[in-house]
């Protein structure tokens, strides 16, 4: 029996690759359906990216193409790659979401989330910061990796720290525009009072996504083993049973993020040098492709698309 990482469900790895020839053919079919692209959108549509959308739609080319077109229009309108640290610094002050300075044993970036540290009421601002964190994690992926890990710290949690509206909109953006980016989400020491909220939130998720959500507890030996299998615990925060006692320092984190902003800008600029990044993408004028960038802080994105974030 194989013990490699692609077979380990507890580690959030799944072998989703199809036979190479068939995969290449379906990627080519996707490119024909999407049509010509230029600049940043052409760069976004790498073979690996198209494969993620195909996987999210069970390798149904037409459904995957429709989903990808929705993302391309969203990226053209929302411009997530142009969000910089100073645009979201207020949202980040408490460390409610941050990218850790370590990766798991499979090279996946780790996003730490701390619901108790929620510090704003603006849905628009919270989603913008989430998108910034996702884009930042993506540019820090190693070449052979497409997924990331979420560590969610529930210490000090109460129901006032989360909102069904924010959760619904978060799920919508992530499922529509970041498919197959989640390797595993670890909910650490979630209290009993979280269970009713989870029952409400779970239907927003594709079943495959929900299967990647793992509840782990500091007093559970099996949870400890899974964490040790995933991480070098000497680097992990003490909140997750690790040895790092350091508190979140927003000033040091800001320095890291500003350096990453330079890396992000250089990445897109270099790739755009030989193409017109301002060109409008070739997309069907379909109401289902409307942008998800709401002008209203209280507006919740309509659930028009199928659930692909898995």
pLDDT at 13: 56
3-state per-residue secondary structure call for 105-131 = CCCCEEEEECHHHCCCCCHHHHHHHHH
Distance of alpha carbon 42 from alpha carbon 72, whole angstroms: 9
pLDDT score, position 193: 86
Output the pLDDT for position 196: 82
Computed from CA positions of residues 133, 45, 292, 187, in that sequence, does the dihedral angle turn out positive or negative?
negative
**Full-model pTM:** 0.81
Tell me what pLDDT residue 12 has: 63
- DSSP states along 31-50: HHHH----HHHHHH--HHHH
Structure tokens at 128: 């913008």
User: Residue 142, exposed/middle/buried by CB under 10 A (0-12, 13-18, 19+)?
Assistant: exposed
pLDDT at 84: 96
The partner residues of 185 in beta bridges, in order of sequence, read 150, 213
pLDDT of 221 reads 97
Q: Which two tokens stand for residue 50?
A: 């198209």
Other CB atoms within 10 Å distance of the CB of residue 303: 14
Nearest C-alpha neighbor of 72 from the set 36, 120, 19: 36
pLDDT for res 285: 36
pLDDT given for residue 41 in this prediction? 94
Residues 6+ apart with CB under 8 A from 91: 119, 120, 125, 126, 128, 129
Q: State residue 168's pLDDT score.
A: 85
The kind and range of the H/E element at 14 are none
Q: What is the pLDDT of residue 80?
A: 96
* C-alpha–C-alpha distance, residues 72 and 152, integer Å: 29
Digit-by-digit pLDDT tens for the chain (310 residues) are 434 444 444 566 555 555 788 899 999 999 999 999 988 999 999 999 999 999 999 999 999 999 999 999 999 999 999 999 999 999 999 999 999 999 999 999 999 999 999 999 999 999 999 999 999 999 999 988 999 999 999 999 887 777 878 888 888 899 899 999 999 999 999 998 888 888 888 888 888 888 999 999 999 999 999 999 999 999 999 999 999 999 999 999 999 999 999 988 877 775 555 444 444 455 543 433 333 343 334 333 333 334 433 4
Instruction: Give start and end residues of each alpha helix (H) in 122-275.
Output: 123-139, 164-177, 194-201, 207-210, 221-230, 250-272
Q: Residue 205: what pLDDT?
A: 84
């Amino acid at each position: 029996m194989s013990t490699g990482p692609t077979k380990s469900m507890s580690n959030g790895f799944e072998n989703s690759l199809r036979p190479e020839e068939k995969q290449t053919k379906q990627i080519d079919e996707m490119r024909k359906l999407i049509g010509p692209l230029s600049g940043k959108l052409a760069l976004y549509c790498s073979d690996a990216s198209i494969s993620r959308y195909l996987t999210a739609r069970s390798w149904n080319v037409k459904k995957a193409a429709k989903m990808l077109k929705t993302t391309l229009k969203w990226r053209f309108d929302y411009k997530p790659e142009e969000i910089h640290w100073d645009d979201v610094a207020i949202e980040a002050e408490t460390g409610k979401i941050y990218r850790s300075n370590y990766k798991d044993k499979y090279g996946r970036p780790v996003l730490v989330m701390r619901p108790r540290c929620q510090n704003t009421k603006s849905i628009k601002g919270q989603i913008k910061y989430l998108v910034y964190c996702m884009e930042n994690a993506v540019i820090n992926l190693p070449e052979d990796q497409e997924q990331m890990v979420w560590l969610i710290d529930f210490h000090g949690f109460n129901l006032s720290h989360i909102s069904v509206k924010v959760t619904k909109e978060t799920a919508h953006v992530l499922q529509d525009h970041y498919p197959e980016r989640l390797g595993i989400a670890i909910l650490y020491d979630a209290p009993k009072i979280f269970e009713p909220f989870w029952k409400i939130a779970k239907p927003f998720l594709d079943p495959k996504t929900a299967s990647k959500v793992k509840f782990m507890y500091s007093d559970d030996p099996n949870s400890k083993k899974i964490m040790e299998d995933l991480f070098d615990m000497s680097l992990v925060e003490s909140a997750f049973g690790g040895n790092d006692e350091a508190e979140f320092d927003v000033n040091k984190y800001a320095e890291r993020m500003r350096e990453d902003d330079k890396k992000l800008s250089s990445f897109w600029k270099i790739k755009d040098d030989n193409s017109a990044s301002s060109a409008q993408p070739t997309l069907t004028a379909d109401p289902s492709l409307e942008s998800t960038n709401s002008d209203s802080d209280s507006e919740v994105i309509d659930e028009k698309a199928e659930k692909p974030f898995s």
